Structure 1
Amino acid sequence: MSRKYFGTDGVRGLVGQYPITPDFALKLGYAAGQVMAAEGTREVIIGKDTRISGYLLESAMESGLIAAGVNVALTGPLPTPAIAYLAQTFRADAGVVISASHNPYHDNGIKFFSNNGTKLTDANELAIEAALDQPMGCVDSANLGKVRRIHDAAGRYIEFCKSTFDHGASLEGLNIVLDCAHGATYHIAPAVFRELGAEITVIGDKPNGTNINDHCGATHLDALVDKVLTIGADMGIAFDGDGDRVMMVDHTGAVVDGDEILYIIARHWQATGQMEGGVVGTLMANLGLELALKALDIPFARSKVGDRYVVEMLNEKGWMLGGENSGHILSLKHHSTGDGIIAALQVLNALRYLDQSLADARSGMTKLPQVLINVRFSGNSAPLEHETVLAEVAAVEAEMGDKGRVLLRKSGTEPLIRVMVEGDNSLDVRGLAQRIADAVQAVDAG
């Protein structure tokens, strides 16, 4: 989300100058509480995913907020978008999620939502950062915050998700495999799809604190593909650790990514008169999405990578639909933030209306060959600005001409340089991407 410690998805394990430790979580809770209390905050809702460190960081964060005089409501493990929703429905002043999204269990982070379910303002972020640099104190005993637990939080969110599916419609007759990544959707997604009538098979629904995202979920689809093919399911749906990302698998085992999900939803919305404006993708969006939407006369725009930038552009344009090829899908007519379950339900709405299988619905969009290589770097170098890397990029772009494009960027959550090359079938995009990746690696090593 911002400069020192707010990443695009919230605080991350070792991003910026602040590692996520119990001491830091305590101080962050106090700093945030001070800023919020000064603005009249009465209560903050705290949720988390299923990683083992969440319980430790939750207690520390809770203590810091209480010390600043702010009341706390605890939900237990819930998807990130659930906390954004509950912050609104319970009329809390803010929401906090302890999660590292799709990262391994040993990472963790902290995300903030405002009372309208959106990310914090720049002014609030700067104020919290400034407060972090001040000594920690504590309000008088009489003014300490209080803690309560919201016992029906999961049920409320399940009903909210179901309400975004077409009224009176049913998923009866569909055989769906769900992969919950041993994460925050493990007890939510099965209830949503089962109560809407689907026959479901669930994997990745037994979290133990250390298996979240471990070769499962939206970032590791092999297990889902295998299960769909083994039982002959109509499709598979995979969520990431905190439930704000979704990927799908059709009955043939083919992966349906965020770009194709956007295309299917946009096609349905246009056909039913629901489309307001166009679709926002990111710089990483496949050119095939842009071309497919153009054929439907649906405007398309690209934002910087990160759900925050997608939301900003959607709001600027007054559009409702956007997302990333990684599976962060934003349907602002339904929710203020990305929601994997709601996005999947929108795809299922589209399939019902179009009377098509997932495989048929995705066939209207042809993706161009695109290769993404993640290059780990030390964090002390600046390979993107190095003349060797710039020269290799220029050489690759000259070789491709107008048949392809190159994109290099730093990850917002890990010490990685992401090298993306996209082009038509006449180009060796993998070889071209590897040339640039090798240059980045050589510069970092040297």
Structure 2
Amino acid sequence: MKRWFGTDGIRGIANEHPVTVDMGVHLGRTLISICRKHGQPPAIVIGRDTRQSGDMLEQALAAGILSAGGDAYATGVLPTPGIAYFARRLKAGFGVVISASHNPYSYNGFKIFSSEGLKLSDPEEAEIEELLAGPPQQSSKETAAPGRYRRVPRAQNRYGRFLESSLAGGPRLQHLSVVIDCANGAASSVAPALFKRITGRVHVLFDAPDGTNINQGCGSQHPEALCRAVIERGADAGLAFDGDADRLIAVDENGLVLSGDQTLAVCAEMLQRQGMLAGNAVVSTIMSNCGLRPALEAMGIRHITTSVGDRHVLAAMIAEGAVLGGEDSGHMIFLDHHSTGDGILSGLQVLKAMTLLGAPLSLLAKRMRIFPQILLNIPVKQKPDLKSVAPLQDVVAEVERTLNGKGRVLVRYSGTEPLCRVMVEGEDEKSVEDYAHRIAQIVQALLG
């Protein structure tokens, strides 16, 4: 049983266990110890988003790395996938991002990438967990000399150019008008300059982070201002990123939000049209809308599902030889271009799809019919195995029988917050809402 790692690293309220200075130091020393154990370079790339607590945690992590005799390569504020890129580029042992993604600014955390720029596997996380559960790693003769702290020169510009290279050989996008929402987060360091280079007209929202306004009424979780701006400016599309810019939510020219699944289907059609959809397959999670599978099947594309979490999507992509995968939350992986999900790269590919397929985003999105879906987040005080909660399993089974194969129910805990997520999908919106609230009431009564 994992103690600290959720679906995407270690996360919680900043300055409260486990997201503390002590944990940062301990984690830094632990990662250098693992590097030496496995013959990897004792060097770690560090990046962060714009949260006020990022400075504190970055310095703590770096202190742990240096005190263990390792080297820290700091990029400063950079999107999470940028750290994956530099971990691979600089041949470091690990890359660590100090971020809590789409969560409020009071949260923070540690996301870890391997030397290949990949999210860690369960065994790799377990190895780190085991060492973190013990006393801090002690210095030895081998680590008596402290390591060095280095800034990665021009990290933002270099990463922006890497993202731009994903468009090489493709159509020019100068005719498009775009509004981008940087969520007052890490995208602010890269996205404005990049989109101004490649598109004709760009209007930028929420690119003035102050340490506390990340994700606040903006970004992928709150696209309302973006929708209004797209309509007011007559833009072709709107693109919203989350705090660490590893996910994308797209808005069409009518100011309507596309689901992550719709965006995935649009990009699948583009890659198929180009003959670049390896394996003729797309990978998504069990949280994908019921409408995704028939949309892909209508295009002759295989649909492969996996557990929640983009690292599980990536593992299935590698196993199946696929190059496109994602989550309805907006994480998308273009394996021909990057080793992990990247919101800004995904935004570029959406604009490319609009150009190559020769249609507005609203029309492309209609390739997929969205089944009505209700997702409720219920605060919980405990997280017992849901299969052991008999009254909950009974009501779920009853709802599933009523749906009769024309919908589904998913109940799962959040991997990063004290929440239980209840998702119900079906053909009739009112019925779906009633079913979801019935289940949520049971969760609240038994676990809240």
Q: Tell me, yes or no, whether TM beats 0.5.
A: yes
- Other structure's SS at 2:199 match: coil
CA RMSD of aligned residues (A): 1.8
**1:418 equivalent in alignment to 2:417:** no
Contact 1:292 1:365 in 2 (8 A): yes
Matches within 5 A, 1:42-441: 42-132=42-132, 133-139=134-140, 143-167=145-169, 169-277=171-279, 278-379=281-382, 385-425=388-428, 428-441=431-444
Q: Indicate how the Cα distance of structure 1 residues 216 and 139 shifts in structure 2: closer, same or farther if over 3 A, else same.
A: farther
**In structure 1, distance between residues paired with 2:63 and 2:387:** 41
**In structure 2, distance between residues paired with 1:175 and 1:296:** 29
TM-score (norm 2): 0.95
TM-superposition CA deviations, 1:233-270 (whole Å, max 9, x none)? 21110000001000011111110121011100111111
Give the residue type in structure 2 aligned to 1:156: R
**In structure 2, distance between residues paired with 1:337 and 1:426:** 34
Contact 2:83 2:96 in 1 (8 A): yes
Contact 2:171 2:356 in 1 (8 A): no
- Other structure's SS at 1:219 match: coil
- Other structure's SS at 1:256 match: coil
**In structure 2, distance between residues paired with 1:335 and 1:168:** 17
Post-superposition shift, 1:166?
Answer: 4.1
- Other structure's SS at 1:186 match: helix
TM-superposition CA deviations, 1:69-102 (whole Å, max 9, x none)? 1111111000000010111122222211100111
Give the residue type in structure 1 aligned to 2:435: L
Q: Indicate how the Cα distance of structure 1 residues 229 and 384 shifts in structure 2: closer, same or farther if over 3 A, else same.
A: farther
Mean Cα displacement is larger for which, 383-392 or 296-305?
Answer: 383-392
Contact 1:384 1:408 in 2 (8 A): no
- Other structure's SS at 2:202 match: strand
- Other structure's SS at 2:9 match: coil
Contact 1:166 1:349 in 2 (8 A): no
Contact 1:69 1:139 in 2 (8 A): no
**In structure 2, distance between residues paired with 1:345 and 1:197:** 10
Contact 2:79 2:186 in 1 (8 A): yes
- How many residue pairs were aligned? 443
- Other structure's SS at 2:6 match: coil
**In structure 2, distance between residues paired with 1:327 and 1:426:** 23
Unaligned runs of 5+ in 2: none
**In structure 2, distance between residues paired with 1:14 and 1:175:** 38
**In structure 2, distance between residues paired with 1:145 and 1:37:** 14
Give the residue type in structure 2 aligned to 1:429: V
TM-superposition CA deviations, 1:372-431 (whole Å, max 9, x none)? 111111125555632221111111112111221111111111111111111113861111
Q: Indicate how the Cα distance of structure 1 residues 381 and 124 shifts in structure 2: closer, same or farther if over 3 A, else same.
A: closer
**In structure 1, distance between residues paired with 2:198 and 2:54:** 31
**In structure 1, distance between residues paired with 2:310 and 2:372:** 24
Give the residue type in structure 2 aligned to 1:386: V
Give the residue type in structure 1 aligned to 2:60: A
Give the residue type in structure 2 aligned to 1:431: D
**In structure 2, distance between residues paired with 1:426 and 1:73:** 50
**In structure 2, distance between residues paired with 1:436 and 1:214:** 30
TM-superposition CA deviations, 1:299-358 (whole Å, max 9, x none)? 001101111111111111111111100000011111000001111111111111111111
Which runs of 4 or more aligned residues in structure 1 lie more than 6 Å from their structure 2 counterparts after TM superposition? none
Mean Cα displacement is larger for which, 31-40 or 196-205?
Answer: 31-40
- Other structure's SS at 2:8 match: coil
Post-superposition shift, 1:231?
Answer: 2.0
Mean Cα displacement is larger for which, 234-243 or 399-408?
Answer: 399-408
**In structure 2, distance between residues paired with 1:210 and 1:410:** 27
Mean Cα displacement is larger for which, 184-193 or 32-41?
Answer: 32-41
**In structure 2, distance between residues paired with 1:121 and 1:281:** 18
Q: Indicate how the Cα distance of structure 1 residues 382 and 130 shifts in structure 2: closer, same or farther if over 3 A, else same.
A: closer
Contact 2:32 2:42 in 1 (8 A): no
**In structure 2, distance between residues paired with 1:353 and 1:212:** 34
Post-superposition shift, 1:25?
Answer: 1.0
Post-superposition shift, 1:169?
Answer: 3.0
- Other structure's SS at 2:339 match: coil
**In structure 1, distance between residues paired with 2:411 and 2:122:** 26
Mean Cα displacement is larger for which, 363-372 or 125-134?
Answer: 125-134
Q: Indicate how the Cα distance of structure 1 residues 384 and 436 shifts in structure 2: closer, same or farther if over 3 A, else same.
A: farther
**In structure 1, distance between residues paired with 2:3 and 2:54:** 22
Q: Hey, what does 2:22 align to over in structure 1?
A: 23
Q: Indicate how the Cα distance of structure 1 residues 283 and 123 shifts in structure 2: closer, same or farther if over 3 A, else same.
A: closer
Post-superposition shift, 1:172?
Answer: 1.2
Post-superposition shift, 1:118?
Answer: 0.6
**In structure 2, distance between residues paired with 1:363 and 1:124:** 41
Give the residue type in structure 2 aligned to 1:332: L
TM-superposition CA deviations, 1:112-166 (whole Å, max 9, x none)? 1111111234444333223220244335586211111012111110000000014
Contact 2:324 2:334 in 1 (8 A): yes
- Other structure's SS at 1:287 match: coil
- Other structure's SS at 2:173 match: coil
**In structure 2, distance between residues paired with 1:86 and 1:160:** 11
TM-score (norm 1): 0.95
Mean Cα displacement is larger for which, 207-216 or 117-126?
Answer: 117-126
Contact 1:5 1:18 in 2 (8 A): no
Post-superposition shift, 1:14?
Answer: 5.9
Contact 1:374 1:416 in 2 (8 A): yes
